[in-house]
């Protein structure tokens, strides 16, 4: 064991020297605000629970009832034990929300992307991906063994250049992009990318993890555009705006049928627990019925940016670029001392020299707390 321990210790020492060694801290996420960490009450501005659904009474009730009826787990993979009825219902609801024929639910967004991409793309094919695409899109692309090229962030001209140079040399082509970029908070130009995909016989797949529930009348980032762009592979998660756990893909019936029989991360993974599925269905009910509630995260983000004279947000995610890794973590510590939980985002999650504070806003944030946060940010000299 000495050589293994020495290897780990050496790696950790190197990461500490760079300021990129992570430490996971215990945090008690209670009903509403504040959270508790190290005995201190904190108001969290780093959570992806944009609609506050993880503690919503209606959604908790649905999860409890599902446990009472179906138990705590699913027992095995879906192809072994079959679907419990809630899974069928959730997939139908997601397909309707996204305007597709069918949907397939995975146990997580990461599992969805590493299963979907290799199902359709192989060594003879090519993938074009936005350089800021989420790590799980990259992982799925790498597992496909296809030629894998990045285009500059949201640069459709660069995408066109890459396609013009490389597309004809490959059998199938896939374009990958986030709908909302999780560390920038900006939207992909899905209308332009969709048009490029259709013109060049490429399939388009979007990861809308941070769009569903809060953008486009709750239907996601594609519905911020008019007309709605054609996106044959609409992927997303149930763990952000939906407040549960899991991933999904919405597409045509033939595409979904192939995924359900070939995606290894679906076939060889135990299905999601009934409580997670029930809570997601209850969340969709609220998203579809309560316009005022689903619009709150964007209203809260706009309040924050107005207070600090920052550019208007495109999503409930507002980054403030600091640059230096040690400096951004110092600012995060200072904010915590003032009662705010804000994540410092460092390489390799973001590029070197672009370390940032990532502020996220939810329906349950109080305006007075957002104003106090903005004042604290200014007083600390962050902006």
Same domain, residue pair 279 and 314:
no
- Asked if residue 2 is part of any domain, the answer here is no
- Asked if residue 251 is part of any domain, the answer here is yes
Considering only CA atoms, which of 160, 175, 184 is closest in space to residue 207?
A: 175
Q: Which domain holds residue 308?
A: 19-48+291-379
Considering the entire predicted model, what is its pTM? 0.93
Same domain, residue pair 63 and 41:
no
- Asked if residue 7 is part of any domain, the answer here is no
User: What kind and span of H or E run contains 247?
Assistant: strand 247-251
Split into its structural domains, the chain has a count of 2
Give percent helix, percent strand, percent coil of the chain, each to the nearest 5.
45, 15, 35
Q: Residue with structure tokens 């896939």? A: 174
Same domain, residue pair 299 and 367:
yes
- Asked if residue 124 is part of any domain, the answer here is yes
Same domain, residue pair 283 and 309:
no
- Asked if residue 4 is part of any domain, the answer here is no
Same domain, residue pair 215 and 335:
no
Tens digits of pLDDT across the chain (383 residues) = 579 888 988 998 998 888 878 787 777 777 766 778 887 889 999 999 999 999 999 999 999 999 999 999 988 998 888 888 899 999 999 999 999 999 999 999 999 999 999 999 999 999 999 999 999 999 999 999 999 999 999 999 999 999 999 999 999 999 999 999 999 999 999 999 999 999 999 999 999 999 999 999 999 999 999 999 999 999 999 999 999 999 999 999 999 999 999 999 999 999 999 999 999 999 999 999 999 999 999 999 999 999 999 999 999 999 999 999 999 999 999 999 999 999 999 999 999 999 999 999 999 999 999 999 999 999 999 99
Question: What confidence score (pLDDT) does residue 1 get?
Answer: 58
Q: Is 38 exposed, middle or buried (0-12, 13-18, 19+ CB in 10 A)?
A: exposed
Same domain, residue pair 205 and 297:
no
Last residue of a domain, one of 257, 288, 319: 288
Please say whether the beta carbons of 356 and 183 come within 8 A: yes
Last residue of a domain, one of 288, 319, 334: 288
CATH code of the domain containing 325: 3.90.1150.10
Same domain, residue pair 200 and 267:
yes
């Amino acid at each position: 064991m000495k050589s293994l321990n020495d290897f780990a210790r050496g790696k950790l020492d190197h990461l500490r020297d760079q300021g990129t060694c992570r430490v996971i801290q215990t945090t008690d996420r209670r009903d509403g605000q504040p959270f508790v960490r190290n005995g201190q009450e904190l108001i969290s501005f780093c959570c992806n629970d944009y609609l506050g659904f993880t503690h919503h009474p209606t959604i908790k009730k649905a999860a409890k009832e599902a446990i009472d009826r179906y138990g705590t787990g699913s027992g095995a993979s879906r192809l072994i034990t079959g679907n419990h009825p809630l899974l069928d219902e959730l997939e139908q609801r997601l397909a309707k929300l996204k305007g597709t024929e069918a949907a397939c639910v995975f146990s997580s967004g990461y599992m969805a992307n590493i299963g979907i991409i290799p199902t359709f793309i192989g060594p003879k094919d090519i993938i074009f991906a936005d350089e800021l695409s989420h790590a799980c899109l990259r992982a799925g692309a790498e597992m496909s063994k296809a030629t894998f090229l990045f285009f500059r962030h949201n640069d459709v001209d660069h995408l066109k250049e890459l396609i013009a140079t490389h597309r004809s040399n490959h059998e199938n082509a896939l374009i990958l992009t986030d709908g909302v970029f999780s560390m920038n908070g900006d939207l992909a130009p899905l209308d332009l990318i969709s048009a490029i995909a259709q013109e060049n016989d490429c399939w388009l797949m979007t990861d809308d993890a941070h769009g569903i529930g809060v953008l486009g009348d709750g239907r996601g980032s594609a519905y911020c555009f008019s007309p709605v762009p054609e996106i044959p592979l609409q992927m997303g998660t149930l763990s952000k705006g939906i407040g549960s756990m899991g991933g999904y893909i919405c597409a045509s019936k033939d595409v979904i049928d192939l995924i359900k029989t070939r995606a290894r991360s679906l076939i060889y993974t135990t299905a999601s627990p009934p409580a997670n599925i029930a809570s997601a269905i209850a969340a969709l009910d609220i998203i579809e019925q309560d316009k005022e509630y689903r619009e709150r995260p964007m209203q809260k983000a706009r309040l924050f940016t107005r207070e600090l004279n920052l550019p208007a947000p495109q999503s409930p995610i507002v980054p403030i670029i600091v640059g230096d890794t040690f400096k951004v973590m110092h600012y995060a510590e200072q904010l915590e001392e003032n009662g705010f939980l804000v994540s410092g985002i460092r390489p390799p999650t973001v590029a070197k020299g672009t370390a940032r504070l990532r502020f996220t806003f939810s329906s349950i944030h109080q305006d007075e707390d957002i104003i106090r946060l903005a004042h604290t940010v200014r007083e600390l000299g962050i902006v």
